[in-house]
Amino acid sequence: MILDSLISHADAVGAPKVVGRYRVLRVCPDPVANEWFNVGVHFRQKGGGGHSRILGNLNGFKTLYGGAGVSNLNNLLSVVSEAAESGCLDNLGPHIRAGDEQYAAGDSPGAIVDQMFDTFVTLGRAAEDASDQTGRNEGLSTHDLRKFVLGQVRSAYPGLYRRSFHDHPVALEDPADRRKREYDLPVFRQPTLEGGATRFASIISAFVKTDMNRAYHLDRGALTLLNARDVLKQSGRAEGAFFILRPHEGVQGFSEEVMQKIDDDIDNAAFHFRHDSHFQIEVFEDSRSLAEHAIHYAS
């Protein structure tokens, strides 16, 4: 089980100080367009209380909806904030949703909330050039890697970007119970020809020095792919891929010991797909090569 793998990682580096479950908070400002945006994160600590972070800067919405739309969004965010504060996150109405609970662990509730917020609330991110991140000693986060890859696709192949690449989770219906669930799949392409295969992929950075952070994202990516595969194979052919970035040998700040841990974490994540001929695991040492491969895979 992926959870067992995650726990074994935690044992290897020391038990996390805080564990619990988080939910991503989403709103739909325009019911006609039916566009949903992640605007916050709520974390419920095991044996403790709840902690939340809600989007504060609404500049990203002004371009989309204008001043009147931002005013409406402010009202929605007020409802989200009150619900998060009370912990009552179910049945919030037609324009507000709270995602399914997911496991999270870290040094403090605040650190966990900030990490989840930076990962999922794209409208709250500062504009950075992800291609410059590889020079930093701490490496390149999954968030920055994905932003770089999707930015490359959006700029060079806008049509392909609209068809096959996703900034937000993809909703898939499980044929077993007809329920729709969201999956974090930056690459998802439905077949264009009858009898074709659905292609889906996760993009994860192992170019991260912190063991717990790196192992968490790799395991979470693997779990998402496994769950998506189980749903998609019920409806037809499905092919999956796991695109992983690792540091190149000799990169500044990454010792031989850290590099060995990174390779071990990648091997553990890839192990879950060892018997699946419809999965490919690709490891890259350059973000541009990863982007080119993802483009080719999704085309």
Per-domain boundaries in the chain: 2-124, 130-298
* pLDDT in the model for residue 69: 60
Residue 38, Cβ neighbours under 10 Å: how many?
23
Residue 7 has pLDDT above 50, yes or no: no
Beta-bridge mates of residue 26? 38, 97
Contact 284, 246 (CB under 8 A): yes
Q: How far apart are CA 22 and CA 1, in angstroms?
A: 20
Q: Give the pLDDT confidence score for residue 218 in this predicted structure.
A: 92
Please state the rounded mean pLDDT for residues 250-278: 89
Six-digit token string for 287: 């973000």
The C-alpha atoms of residue 79 and residue 89 are separated, in whole angstroms, by 10
Higher pLDDT, 155 or 206: 206
- Single out the residue of 284, 293, 142, 273 nearest to residue 204, CA to CA: 142
* Closest to 282 (Cα-Cα) out of 245, 230, 253: 245
pLDDT of residue 6: 46
Q: Which residues pair with 188 in a beta bridge?
A: 200
Percent of the chain with pLDDT over 90: 29
Dihedral sign, Cα of residue 98, residue 101, residue 104, residue 109: positive
- Tell me how far the alpha carbon of residue 135 is from its chain's centroid: 23
Residue 161 has pLDDT above 70, yes or no: yes
Q: At 106, is the pLDDT very low, low, confident or very high (cuts 50, 70, 90)? A: confident
What residues have CB less than 8 Å from 237, skipping those under 6 apart? 191, 195, 196, 197, 198, 278
∠ CA 39-103-185, nearest 5°, is 60
pLDDT of residue 227: 92
Confidence of residue 132 (pLDDT cuts 50, 70, 90): very low
Name the pLDDT band for 274 (thresholds 50, 70, 90): confident
Residue 275: pLDDT above 70? yes
Residue with more model confidence, 135 or 147: 147
- Give pLDDT, residue 266: 95
User: In this predicted structure, what is the pLDDT of residue 12?
Assistant: 46
Q: pLDDT at residue 31 above 90?
A: no
**pLDDT tens digit sequence for 37-89:** 888 899 988 887 888 888 876 666 665 666 656 666 777 777 888 888 887 88
Note the pLDDT of residue 137: 53
Q: What mean pLDDT comes out for the span 33-38? A: 78
Per-residue model confidence (pLDDT) at position 1: 46
Cα–Cα distance, 116 to 82 (Å, whole number): 19
Strand order in the sheet with 238-245: 187-189, 198-205, 238-245, 279-284
**pLDDT class of 13 with cuts at 50, 70, 90:** very low
218-258 tens-digit pLDDT: 998 999 999 999 999 888 889 999 999 999 888 888 889 99
The pLDDT, as a whole number, for residue 201 is 97
Mean pLDDT across the chain, nearest whole number?
A: 82
The residue ranking higher by pLDDT, 113 or 166, is 166
